[in-house]
């Protein structure tokens, strides 16, 4: 089943402390955002990529896409101050879509079979996200004191891509905008709008590069994937 994808790259990467947008940092000499875009360039189910960037970085991305051509990126969309605003701008620039995926540019290791499982789940259930079981014990803490230990078996760490029927996610974003609600992911807006969201079990390799130590981890994951899957 075909899908369109919104890839988000309009953040500042503050926690990475690289002094510039982390999307340009390299993993085995190729920029992070290019690794991510190549995943979808190579997926026959992906019919188009909306790349969302900061307005001050449009030229840098344009130059990068000349050096590393990605045919499915037809134009760049300017993002907003918050991730949710960037997604909304991406949704508005999608003219025709049935199935839309939303993905962090900083998550370069999602695998094609996982993407396909996710898309099929969203086609039947309208909304689906990738997730992995939480490994740590999670406690709720207030002012330095444990309030509660949350039952781990019901906890899942949520990743991207997240997949939705276009109308479902667009309506959820419009509702959130009207209510001035800011969520941490797109599924939370869809949940709030009353739509059930299904889980597809993903892979622990699908990390988001967030802090400096993730770079070393990413190099190791890429080495492993190149060896085992020939990517
Ligand atoms: N993002 C975006 N627009 C924003 C904020 C974030 O497109 N206004 C994108 C980022 O570029 C990233 C993804 O959303 O690919 C996930 O966000 P995060 O990991 O938080 O990245 P940054 O916001 O760039 O990093 P930080 O929060 O450390 O500044
Ligand atoms: Mg951020």
Domain assignment of residue 137, yes or no:
no
> What is the span of the domain harbouring residue 184?
3-130+158-225
Domain assignment of residue 145, yes or no:
no
Question: What pLDDT, on a 0 to 100 scale, did the predictor assign at position 228?
Answer: 83
**CA 209 to ligand 1: nearest atom:** 19
Instruction: Tell me the pLDDT tens digit for each residue of 138-162.
Output: 999 999 999 999 999 999 999 999 9
**CA 87 to ligand 1: nearest atom:** 7
Q: If you measure from the C-alpha of residue 184 to the centroid of ligand 2, how many angstroms do you get, rounded to a whole number? A: 9
ipTM above 0.90, yes or no: yes
Question: What pLDDT, on a 0 to 100 scale, did the predictor assign at position 178?
Answer: 98
Q: What is the 3-state secondary structure (H, E, C) of the chain?
A: CCEEEEEECCCCCHHHCCCCCHHHCEECCEEHHHHHHHHHHCCCCEEEEEEEECHHHHHHHHHHHHHCCCCCEEEEEECCCCHHHHHHHHHHHCCCCCEEEEEECCCCCCCHHHHHHHHHHHHHHCEEEEEEECCCCCEEEECCEEEEECCHHHCEEEEEEEEEEHHHHHHHHHHHHHCCCCCCCHHHHHHHCCCCCEEEECCCCCCCCCCCHHHHHHHHHHHHHHHHHCC
Question: What pLDDT, on a 0 to 100 scale, did the predictor assign at position 231?
Answer: 54
Domain assignment of residue 79, yes or no:
yes
Q: If you measure from the C-alpha of residue 10 to the centroid of ligand 2, how many angstroms do you get, rounded to a whole number? A: 9
Domain assignment of residue 88, yes or no:
yes
Ligand nearest to the CA of 208: 1
Q: What's the whole-number average pLDDT of the chain?
A: 97
**CATH code of the domain in which 112 resides:** 3.90.550.10
**CA 52 to ligand 1: nearest atom:** 7
Pocket of ligand 1 (CB under 6 A): 8-15, 52, 79-83, 86, 104-106, 208, 210
Question: What pLDDT, on a 0 to 100 scale, did the predictor assign at position 74?
Answer: 87
Domain assignment of residue 142, yes or no:
no
The neighbourhood of ligand 2, an ion, using CB within 5 A, equals 11
């Amino acid at each position: 089943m075909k899908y369109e994808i919104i890839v988000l790259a309009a953040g500042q990467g503050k926690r990475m402390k690289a002094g510039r947008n982390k999307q340009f940092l390299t993993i085995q000499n190729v920029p992070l955002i290019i690794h991510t875009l190549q995943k979808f360039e190579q997926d026959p189910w992906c019919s188009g990529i909306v790349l969302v960037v900061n307005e001050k970085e449009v030229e840098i991305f344009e130059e990068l896409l000349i050096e590393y051509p990605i045919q499915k990126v037809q134009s760049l969309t300017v993002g907003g101050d918050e991730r949710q605003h960037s997604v909304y701008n991406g949704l508005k620039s999608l003219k025709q879509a049935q199935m839309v995926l939303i993905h962090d540019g900083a998550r370069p290791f999602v695998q094609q079979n996982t993407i396909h499982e996710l898309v099929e789940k969203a086609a039947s259930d309208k909304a689906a996200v990738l997730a992995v079981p939480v490994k740590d014990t999670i406690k709720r803490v207030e002012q330095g004191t444990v309030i509660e230990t949350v039952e781990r078996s019901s906890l899942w760490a949520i990743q991207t891509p997240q997949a939705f029927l276009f109308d479902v996610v667009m309506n959820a974003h419009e509702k959130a905008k009207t209510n001035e609600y800011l969520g941490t992911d797109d599924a939370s807006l869809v949940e709030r709008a009353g739509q059930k969201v299904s889980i597809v079990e993903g892979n622990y390799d699908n990390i988001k590069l967030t802090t400096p130590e993730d770079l070393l981890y990413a190099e190791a994951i890429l080495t492993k994937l190149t060896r085992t899957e020939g990517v």
